[in-house]
Amino acid sequence: MISLSTAFRGFLIAAFLTTVSVAESASDKKPAITVIAGGLPIILTAPHGGGAAIPGVPERKGDGVTRFNPKADTNTDILTEKLADALEQKLGKRPYVVIARFHRKYIDANRRPEDAFESPEAKATYDEYHAAIAAACKEVTARWGRGVVLDIHGQAAQPGVVLRGTQNGKTVAHLLKQSGREAVYGETSLFGELAKQGFAIFPAVGSSEPESPNYSGGHTVGLHGSSSGGTIDAIQLELGTRYRDAKSIGDGAEKIASAITAFAKNYLPSETQKPTDAAKPAGKIAVGVYLDKGAGPSVNDLLRALAKFEQVAVTKLTAEQIRSGGLAGLDILMQPGGSGGTQGRNLDEPGREKIRNFVREGGGYIGICAGAYLASAQYPWSLNLLDAKVIDTQHWNRGIGTVDIELTPAGREILRTPNQKFPIHYAQGPLLAPAGRPEIEDYEEMATFKTEIAKNGAPEGVMVGTTAIARGRFGQGRVICFSPHPEMTEGLEEFVQNAIDYVNRKRAGK
C-alpha cells in the first residue's frame, strides 16, 4: 500500500462509498462472488475464472444454447486480482472488483439469464453477480459522473492476441460521444495503449474493421455499458493464453495495468465531482447519543470526540425518549460503550423496535463496544441490526488493553486511511462473526483483530481473526459497529467522524 498524497486525502473526503458484499454459499464458507469497493472510476469484472461449485446447482448441459461453453477462462480471476494490485501501485487507489468464484460449468455469468443457467437454484448467484456490477456502476456515476467496466476474459483461439469487444462500438457509445473515435480506436485508446505495451491486438490500432464475431462483447458489456444510455462504458478484453499462463501472468498484469493507467489518464475523470447543493446535508448532521442505564464512562470520551466535529449536532437520549418518538428528526443513533445487556433491557422491546424502524427507514446506527453487542443478532435483548453473532460469549470479560486491528480495503475506504494496521483501545467488546441470518443482509468486515487479550479464563487463540469493525445495511439504513474504542484511542477519533459520514441518513439507500 503506497501512502496517499494530501491532495488525494482531500479527494477522499468528498467521496462516498459503496456496500461491499461477499456472497457466501450456504454449505461451505467460500464466497461465490468477490466484490470489492474501489476508489477509481474503473470496474474490473471477471465472470469465467472461477473454479468453485455452487451447492445444489448441477453442471449445465447447454441444450438449446448457442455457442455453449462450460470451460473456464483459465487464470482470469487471478489476473484480475493482480491487475487491481498493479493499478493501486500506479494510480494510488484500487479499482472496483467483481470476480465470480464459481465455475462456468454451473453459471455463465456473461450470458443472458435464459442462457446462463439451467437450475432455479443458480438464479440468486447469477443475479447477485450482476447486481454487484450494477451497484458499482451506480456508485461510480455518483462519484465521478462516468467511468468504465473492463470485463476480463481469456481465449485460446489466438494465443498471442488481445481482442476488443464493444459490440462494435455500442457499449462505449458514451465515450465515443464524449471523446470521439480516437478514445475507442486510436493510439491513446485502451487498445492503443495495450499495443504500446507490446500486445498484439485485434482489431488493429486505428482500424475500423469489425470486431471478431465470437468475441465482440457479451451480456456484461451489453447490460452495463452505455449501449442504451448512461455514462458507464464497457469493454470486453479477450486475452490470449500466452498473456495469462502461470509464467507470464505477473508481467501481463503489470503491462495491462500500465495500459489501463494511460487510458485512465487520457480519458477518465481523475477527481470526484463536487457534491451538488442538493446532495449536501442541509445544516448539521443530527446525531443522537444514548445516555441512560448501560452507558459506561466511555460515553464521555465519545461526547468529547463528537464536540470536535463541526458538522455534528448531538442530542442525548434516554430509553424513554427513544420509546416516545425521540429519534424523529435524527440522522444517526449512537449506542456507546458500557453494558449491551443493560442498554437492551432498558430500551425494552418497544424501544428496540423504535430503533429498528429508525434504521429501516434510513437512519444511521453506530455501536461502540456495548453498542456493537446491542446491534448483533445474538441475544434476546439485541437489536438484530447486524447479521453478526458473538463468539465465545462465555468469556465476554476477557480484559482491557490495547490490541492491533487490521483494516480491510472497505475499512480503509470508509475510515479514510491508507494505513492497514492500528493499535486501538479494547474493553471487552464483542468478537463478531457472520450469523448467517437470512432476514438480515450479510455484514461486511471493515477490520479484524490481529492480536488478542485473553484474561479471566478466556482461551487464547479465539479473538484473533474475528471481526473488530463491521458495516451492514438494515432496510434503507446503514450500520457500523466497532468492537474496540476509536473514541478512546488518541489519533483514531476521526474514525468516529468518518463512520458518521458513512452512515448518515443522507446516504441511505445508496
Residue 261 CB, shortest distance to Zn ion, in Å, is 24
Q: Which stretch binds Zn ion (CB under 5 A): 44-52, 85-93, 138-146, 484-492?
A: 44-52
Helical residues (DSSP H) of 1-159, grouped into ranges: 6-14, 76-91, 113-116, 123-144
What is the longest distance spanned by two Cα atoms in the chain?
A: 73
* Site map 419..438 versus Zn ion, x via CB under 5 A: --------------------
Q: Which stretch binds Zn ion (CB under 5 A): 3-11, 43-51, 262-270, 311-319?
A: 43-51
Residue 255 CB, shortest distance to Zn ion, in Å, is 20
Rounded CA separation 165/147 (Å)? 17
Q: Rg of the chain's alpha carbons, rounded to an integer?
A: 24
Q: Interface with Zn ion includes 395 (CB under 5 A)?
A: no
Residue 478 CB, shortest distance to Zn ion, in Å, is 35
> What are the cell numbers at 236?
470486453
Nearer to Zn ion among residue 243 and residue 426 (C-beta): 243
Rounded CA separation 407/411 (Å)? 5
Nearer to Zn ion among residue 191 and residue 495 (C-beta): 191
Residue 381 CB, shortest distance to Zn ion, in Å, is 50
Q: Which residues of 338-374 are buried (b: 16+ CB within 10 A; e: fewer)?
A: bbbbbbbbbbeeebbebbbebbeebbbbbbbbbbbbb
Residue 45 CB, shortest distance to Zn ion, in Å, is 11
Nearer to Zn ion among residue 9 and residue 71 (C-beta): 71
Residue 463 CB, shortest distance to Zn ion, in Å, is 42
What secondary structure letter does DSSP report for 338? B
Rounded CA separation 177/349 (Å)? 57
Nearer to Zn ion among residue 153 and residue 224 (C-beta): 153
> What are the cell numbers at 263?
487510458
Nearer to Zn ion among residue 48 and residue 60 (C-beta): 48
Nearer to Zn ion among residue 48 and residue 478 (C-beta): 48
Nearer to Zn ion among residue 81 and residue 139 (C-beta): 81
Residue 276 CB, shortest distance to Zn ion, in Å, is 39
Nearer to Zn ion among residue 50 and residue 326 (C-beta): 50
Q: Interface with Zn ion includes 48 (CB under 5 A)?
A: yes
Q: Which stretch binds Zn ion (CB under 5 A): 40-48, 347-355, 360-368, 449-457?
A: 40-48
Residues in contact with Zn ion, total (CB under 5 A)?
3
Residue 221 CB, shortest distance to Zn ion, in Å, is 11
Query: CB of 96 within 8 A of CB of 134?
Result: no
The residue number whose beta carbon is nearest to Zn ion equals: 153
Nearer to Zn ion among residue 19 and residue 75 (C-beta): 75
Rounded CA separation 344/145 (Å)? 43
Q: Which stretch binds Zn ion (CB under 5 A): 67-75, 134-142, 351-359, 392-400?
A: 67-75
- Asked if omega into 203 is within 30° of 0 (cis), the reply is yes
> What are the cell numbers at 349?
422491546
Q: Interface with Zn ion includes 77 (CB under 5 A)?
A: no
Query: CB of 371 within 8 A of CB of 340?
Result: yes
Q: Which stretch binds Zn ion (CB under 5 A): 145-153, 187-195, 201-209, 339-347?
A: 145-153
Q: Which stretch binds Zn ion (CB under 5 A): 72-80, 180-188, 199-207, 330-338?
A: 72-80
3-class state of residue 57 by DSSP: coil
Residue 102 CB, shortest distance to Zn ion, in Å, is 13
Cα–Cα nearest to 23, from 434, 390, 350: 434
Rounded CA separation 425/406 (Å)? 14
Where in 147-206 is the site for Zn ion (CB under 5 A)?
153
- Of 20, 72, 73, 235, the one binding Zn ion (CB under 5 A) is 73
What secondary structure letter does DSSP report for 281? -
Q: Which residues of 417-449 are buried (b: 16+ CB within 10 A; e: fewer)?
A: bbeeebbbbbbbbbbbbbbeeeebbbbbbbbbb
What secondary structure letter does DSSP report for 216? S
Write the CA distances from 234 to 124, 144, 168, 192, integer angstroms.
24, 16, 12, 16
Residue 211 CB, shortest distance to Zn ion, in Å, is 15
| Binding footprint of Zn ion on the chain (CB under 5 A) | 48, 73, 153
